[in-house]
A and B are shown apart, each in its own frame.
Chain A
Amino acid sequence: MNKTQKDLRLLPTNFKKVAFGIMLLSALFVILYIFKIITIDKDMVKTISKSGFLISLLLLVITRNKIEDELTLKIRLKAFSASSIYGVGVVILEPFINLLFDGSFLSDMGVTELLISMFFFYFIMMFIMKKNR
């Protein structure tokens, strides 16, 4: 691992397990609510599950891969920038798309949803670039 890779301060690989654990707990929380095993406010369930999902995705992004070399780092940075461009693009284009579909398209897109979609875009970009390296 070179200096640039160390400067990125990524979390150790084991944090992937923590991330998947949090994701699973968030999903479990929603399932328990759907089957009425726990009875709490719907908004509360939404907030907790979204936050859990967001934290798990963030952990997955900032966790080191098993083999982290300079090509992986380049791919990671490219995926980061592509995801940022996607985020800005969505924010700029959203009003126009809503105008086009009478506000029925992307109407529920809040900050959390935008961040989650940005994370997914990041993972898709990483996957494509890793396949084509």
Chain B
Amino acid sequence: MKNKIKIQRAIKELTQESLANKIGVSRQTINSIEKNRYVPSTILALKISKLFGKSVNEIFELEEND
């Protein structure tokens, strides 16, 4: 699953650390999600999209092999 967290983070001028603090996870978790090593739960995906003021589909996108 692809995601646009890094882009959205840059738009909002947020560091991985500050984003992690806002949604209550570790910086490493944000890093893993950005690098597509970890697929977040629905709750975390909703929290991230809410923070960026976008829908989940705008942040996360299914790939062909998903």
Is residue B65 within 8 Å, beta carbon to beta carbon, of the partner chain?
no
Q: Which residues of B contact A (CB under 8 A)?
A: 24-26, 28-29, 31-32, 37-38, 40-41, 43-44
A sample of 13 more A-B contacts (CB under 8 A), given A71-B32, A74-B38, A133-B37, is A1-B24, A67-B25, A67-B26, A69-B24, A69-B26, A69-B29, A70-B29, A70-B40, A70-B41, A70-B44, A71-B28, A71-B38, A133-B29
How far is B60's CA from A40's CA once the two chains are assembled, in angstroms?
65
Is residue A2 within 8 Å, beta carbon to beta carbon, of the partner chain?
yes
Contacts of A74 in B (CB 8 A): 38
A70 engages B37 (CB within 8 Å): no
Most chain B beta-carbon neighbours within 10 Å: one of A69, A72, A74: A69
Give residues of chain A (108-133) contacting chain B, Cβ–Cβ below 8 Å: 130, 133
The chain A residue sitting closest to B24, CB to CB, is A69
How far is B14's CA from A100's CA once the two chains are assembled, in angstroms?
59
B43 engages A133 (CB within 8 Å): no
Say whether, besides A2-B41, A133-B38, A70 and B32 are in contact (CB < 8 Å).
Answer: no
How far does the Cβ of B34 sit from chain A's closest Cβ, in whole Å? 12
The chain B residue sitting closest to A71, CB to CB, is B29
A133 engages B32 (CB within 8 Å): yes
How far is B44's CA from A67's CA once the two chains are assembled, in angstroms?
15
Give residues of chain A (42-74) contacting chain B, Cβ–Cβ below 8 Å: 67, 69-72, 74
